[in-house]
Amino acid sequence: MSTETLDKAKANLPIRGYLKLDDIMIPQGDDLVQAILDLKKEKNAVILAHYYQIPAIQDIADFLGDSLQLARQAKDTDADMIAFCGVHFMAEAAKILNPTKKVVLPDLQAGCSLADGCSGEGLRKMREQHPGALIATYINCNAETKAESDIIVTSSNAEVIINSMPKDRPLIFAPDKNLGRYLMKKTGRDMILWDGSCIVHEAFSMERIAAQLAQHPDAKLIAHPESETPVLDLAHFIGSTSALLNYVEKDEAQKFIVATEEGILHEMKKRAPHKELLPALVFDESCNCSECFFMKRNTMEKLYLCMKYELPEITMDEELRLKALVPIEKMLELSKSVK
């Protein structure tokens, strides 16, 4: 490929979010897998992937995990490059935690409805409206929002962290109101909630899931806490992606209705090959609403391209990074006991 073509591609990145070059030959099938493995070796890279990624990416990853586990891996890696197969806020957290590493994301437009709906400025205003309040923010948010927060939580450590917050201060929880409501119930702690939600988890239909349960009386409903309250009220078990996986593996039930992003079924099937797994039903029968289209923007081809050209790269203003680092480090410190 000519330097001129590559320059053109680089110029396209902020708009397109990924390389799109007609004259680049991208290997396919087994060759593509091998090419990614070769790049990994050549660049001393590590591939981190979330459970919602497409199966091929989950299979090639060095580490597959939930958002807390991935943040820890990113912090501790000694690789030179982190190819982060997840959404933007996850790759950004990796950069915040390990700034000397090159962090690349296969598709820069892999966003998140929760992160997109909560700005740093919005949180600042909320703080002004509630003087003296502390702000606990879900990791599904951008660096500016993290920088305005007192502490970050993930779905696997949120309960432990909320329980550890000073009782004499009001508490704001952003941006996921469903997770917030669930935590209020679990911890008995009143919180002021930001009005945000996950477009994937709010698509689950309580009525249709109730019908599913009636049809499969031997099944257990398991749900991610980003789901709406009526769905959570029906659930036999509620937990983060890693908690749901562990539950399916260890529980004696043989059939589960799974109310979270469908990508997780790939790892669930591997861990519990003899169990029956049914995706929970969504309101609109005609859509693939239980797939996160942000997560699914990452493809094997884009993973190859981002590793080969080291683009798109996550970069950040150092002052912002340092501000965002403080509440993330507090979270890691307070949740050492959480696997």
Q: Which residues bind ligand 13P (CB under 6 A)?
A: 66-67, 140, 154-156, 198, 224, 226, 240-241
172 DSSP β-pair partners:
135, 192
Question: What are φ and ψ of residue 12, in 5° steps?
Answer: -80, -20
Q: Determine the 3-state secondary structure of 136 from DSSP.
A: strand
Q: Kindly tell me which of 96 and 114 has the beta carbon lying closer to ligand SF4.
A: 114
Q: Which does 241 bind (CB under 5 to 8 A by kind): ligand 13P, ligand SF4, none?
A: ligand 13P
Q: Is 112 in the site for ligand SF4 (CB under 6 A)?
A: yes
Q: Is 265 in the site for ligand SF4 (CB under 6 A)?
A: no
What does the alpha-carbon distance between residue 26 and residue 39 come to, in Å, rounded to a whole number? 13
Q: Which does 149 bind (CB under 5 to 8 A by kind): ligand 13P, ligand SF4, none?
A: none
Q: Is 48 in the site for ligand SF4 (CB under 6 A)?
A: no
**Shortest distance, CB of residue 282 to ligand SF4, whole angstroms?**
13
> Edge to edge, what strands does the sheet with 45-50 contain?
63-65, 45-50, 81-85, 102-104
What does the alpha-carbon distance between residue 227 and residue 200 come to, in Å, rounded to a whole number? 8
Q: Kindly tell me which of 35 and 108 has the beta carbon lying closer to ligand 13P.
A: 108
With beta carbons less than 8 A apart as the criterion, state whether 271 and 250 touch: no
Q: Residue 65's closest CA among 88, 92, 84?
A: 84
> Edge to edge, what strands does the sheet with 237-238 contain?
237-238, 219-223, 255-259, 276-279
**Shortest distance, CB of residue 79 to ligand 13P, whole angstroms?**
21
Q: Which does 36 bind (CB under 5 to 8 A by kind): ligand SF4, ligand 13P, none?
A: none
Task: Give the number of residues in contact with ligand SF4, rule: CB under 6 A.
Answer: 13
Q: Is 198 annotated as a binding residue?
A: yes
> In terms of DSSP bridges, do strands 63-65 and 45-50 run parallel, antiparallel, or are they unpaired?
parallel
Q: Which does 294 bind (CB under 5 to 8 A by kind): ligand 13P, ligand SF4, none?
A: ligand SF4
Cβ contacts of 282 within 8 Å, gap of 6 or more: 203, 204, 205, 208, 289, 290
Q: Is 200 in the site for ligand SF4 (CB under 6 A)?
A: yes
Q: Kindly tell me which of 120 and 225 has the beta carbon lying closer to ligand SF4.
A: 225
266-295 positions binding ligand SF4, by CB under 6 A: 292, 294-295
Q: Is 87 in the site for ligand SF4 (CB under 6 A)?
A: yes
Q: Kindly tell me which of 292 and 300 has the beta carbon lying closer to ligand SF4.
A: 292
Q: Kindly tell me which of 179 and 272 has the beta carbon lying closer to ligand 13P.
A: 179
Burial class of residue 27, CB neighbours in 10 A (0-12, 13-18, 19+): middle
**Shortest distance, CB of residue 288 to ligand SF4, whole angstroms?**
13
**Shortest distance, CB of residue 237 to ligand 13P, whole angstroms?**
13
Q: Is 225 annotated as a binding residue?
A: yes
Q: Is 292 annotated as a binding residue?
A: yes
Neighbours of 269 (CB within 10 A): 14
Q: Give CA separation, 137 vs 128, 162, 295, 327, in Å.
A: 16, 10, 21, 9
Q: Kindly tell me which of 35 and 257 has the beta carbon lying closer to ligand SF4.
A: 257
Enter the DSSP assignment of 23.
T
Q: Is 112 annotated as a binding residue?
A: yes
How many residues would you count in the chain? 339
Q: Kindly tell me which of 51 and 309 has the beta carbon lying closer to ligand 13P.
A: 51
What does the alpha-carbon distance between residue 108 and residue 297 come to, in Å, rounded to a whole number? 9
Q: Is 113 in the site for ligand SF4 (CB under 6 A)?
A: yes
Torsion angle defined by CA atoms of residues 3, 9, 308 and 28, in that order, rounded to the nearest 10 degrees: -110
Amino acid at 65: G
> Can you say which residues are annotated as belonging to the binding site for iminosuccinate?
50, 67, 138-140, 155, 224-226, 241
Feature table: binding site: 50, 67, 112, 138-140, 155, 198, 224-226, 241, 292
Return residues touching ligand SF4 (CB under 6 A).
87, 112-114, 140, 198-200, 226, 261, 292, 294-295
